[in-house]
Structure 1
Amino acid sequence: MNISKRALMAGLALMLMAGAASAADMIGNCAVTGKKGSIPIANPAKPGQLTVEVSLPAPIWWNGDTPDTIKDGMEYCIAAEIAWRAGYDKLEVVNVGWDPLIAGQTHDFDLAMSEISITDERKKVHDFSIPYFSSDIGVLTRTDAPVDEKTVKTAKVGVQQSTTGAAFAMDKLGIADAQVYTDQGDMFAALRSGQIDAAITDTSIVLAEVVANPGKVEVVGQYKTGESYGAIYQKGNANNPTIDKIFQSMIDDGTMKALAAKYLAAAWGKDPATVPYFNP
């Protein structure tokens, strides 16, 4: 083999090695950026992997209708990065009901992420991660029949059971006869079909619904609540402080901000802060 051929073969080998390394640094469609195993978790819920619970659907945060179809999204890629930095290249997504999740009735997982607001009441049941996203409460209506700051209080309002949006609508806005749905998707379907006039839940969630149904629904306003999202941990688990360290490392090195820019700001097409604020 002459020198030029040797150089060519060497170059091809390097390219193949680089490609293999690049492919290895992926979980689903998420390009993980941290160092694998830099903050190890020794005893995950299931050996050899990170197990994460979510209550679907959750577009933009978890892109897909079933665990098997989800390969990216804001929270999925957060979970992928946590798995990688913890030392694993396998991530299992488990779909659970919202009520059992919030009530602490699910088991055998390392963390749960489903746009979950941190509240004192929930802290009685769960441990929470450090906050990784801030969200207020938004008002979603149909584009052909919008409500406003005044009429929302007398409109047919839908809320999801056991959410901070439901508590806000009933306790702060005084909506006594709100339609309560166990499933977020059912609430949004009821809005589109005209069964309710407005749906009240996290601003981040209603903005995602606009993306999923362009021209049919719109976010007309939001209420300032100062909520923050956190991951749920099983109470007292020894790995919780370690996963918190991973969350903090992602905030410190800009990974969290980069994921938000890719999956949230770009998808919504607007800054949530531009949505007008209503007075309760």
Structure 2
Amino acid sequence: MLDDDPAGGEGFENGLVYELAAELGFDADDVEWVGQTFEEAIAPGTKPYDFAIQQISVTEERQEIVDFSMVYYQPDKALLALPDSPVVGATTLAELVDANWGATIGTTDLDYIENIIGADGVAVFDDQATTFQALLGGNIDATVVAFPTALFATAVQIPEADIVASLPADPNDTGHGLLFEQGNPLVDCIDQGLERIIARGVVDDLVSEYLIGDADVVEITG
């Protein structure tokens, strides 16, 4: 979202929600936003909303305790670091292994660092803001986040950091989906709406407007 204002309708996720609401016959004023942390969202149990949209990746493990919509977006992973980090200039995953890594607990970003990059001793933080503060403070050399997160982070949250590289796809991360309380009967209806707006090119248009990064970013392929 832009300006930390979900109701403003500016930003990829916000725009998607309002387009989906319109497709399902709702006015913008009908959309209500409820705050919840990432950890609360992916935990089992009752949810105080119809669905969550927080760039949440669909994984088999999470599907055991919550329900997801169809995947609406498959982002690349991004390598995020300060300009003087030892990961700057790396062109292979092997060159990243020995860096001092950090990531947020419960995320596919943490799984990626441990299982795809193969790093040991990854520092684990309670939330993304704390991970970013550790990066700024020099406690870690780098972190991995979804590319849309990296774009927002380097523009707003930690402009001192850079997107150092894009990374190979994570075979265990099938993409972002809307998250529902397990057993929520709205999933099928939401999927139908998503399918229609995806087919109309709405998601592609939102990606072009909000999620296009620097074409010169290094691409690490393996």
Work out whether the TM-score is over 0.5: yes
- Equivalent residue letter for 2:187: N
Partners of 2:165 and 2:185 in 1: how far apart? Answer: 43
Map residues 1-280 of structure 1 onto 2, 5 A cutoff.
62-65=1-4, 70-89=8-27, 90-147=30-87, 148=90, 149=92, 150-212=94-156, 213-214=158-159, 216-226=161-171, 227=173, 228-265=175-212, 268-270=213-215, 275-279=218-222
Aligned residues: 213
Q: Residues 72-130 of structure 1: CA distance to partner in whole angstroms, max 9, x if unpaired?
A: 21111111122222232221111211112111345131111111111111111121111
Partners of 2:197 and 2:215 in 1: how far apart? Answer: 24
Superposition deviation, residue 179 in structure 1: 0.9
Partner of 1:47: none
Partners of 2:10 and 2:44 in 1: how far apart? Answer: 26
Partners of 1:253 and 1:91 in 2: how far apart? Answer: 22
Are the equivalent residues in 1 in contact too, given 2:86–2:99 (CA < 8 A)?
no
Superposition deviation, residue 186 in structure 1: 1.6
SS of alignment partner, residue 156 of structure 1: coil
Q: Residues 30-71 of structure 1: CA distance to partner in whole angstroms, max 9, x if unpaired?
A: xxxxxxxxxxxxxxxxxxxxxxxxxxxxxxxx2233656x44
SS of alignment partner, residue 168 of structure 2: strand
Q: TM-score, normalised by structure 2?
A: 0.85
SS of alignment partner, residue 114 of structure 2: helix
Are the equivalent residues in 1 in contact too, given 2:104–2:131 (CA < 8 A)?
yes
The structure with the largest strand share of the pair is 1
Report which structure shows greater RCO (CA 8 Å, sep ≥6): 2
SS of alignment partner, residue 34 of structure 2: strand
Structure 1 residue runs of 5 or longer lacking an equivalent are: 1-61
Partners of 1:165 and 1:247 in 2: how far apart? Answer: 25
* Residues 1:249 and 1:277: Cα distance change in structure 2 (over 3 Å): same
Partner of 1:42: none
Are the equivalent residues in 2 in contact too, given 1:100–1:106 (CA < 8 A)?
no
* Residues 1:248 and 1:78: Cα distance change in structure 2 (over 3 Å): same
Partners of 1:104 and 1:219 in 2: how far apart? Answer: 35
Partners of 2:70 and 2:170 in 1: how far apart? Answer: 18
SS of alignment partner, residue 95 of structure 1: coil
Superposition deviation, residue 207 in structure 1: 3.2
* Residues 1:143 and 1:275: Cα distance change in structure 2 (over 3 Å): same
RMSD of aligned alpha carbons = 2.2
* Percent identical residues: 28
Q: TM-score, normalised by structure 1?
A: 0.69
Indicate the structure (1 or 2) with the bigger Cα radius of gyration: 1
Q: Residues 149-205 of structure 1: CA distance to partner in whole angstroms, max 9, x if unpaired?
A: 444211110111101111121233332211111111221122122111001222332
User: Greater shift after overlay, 200-209 or 131-140?
Assistant: 200-209
* Residues 1:178 and 1:74: Cα distance change in structure 2 (over 3 Å): same
Partners of 1:67 and 1:134 in 2: how far apart? Answer: 21
Are the equivalent residues in 1 in contact too, given 2:97–2:118 (CA < 8 A)?
yes
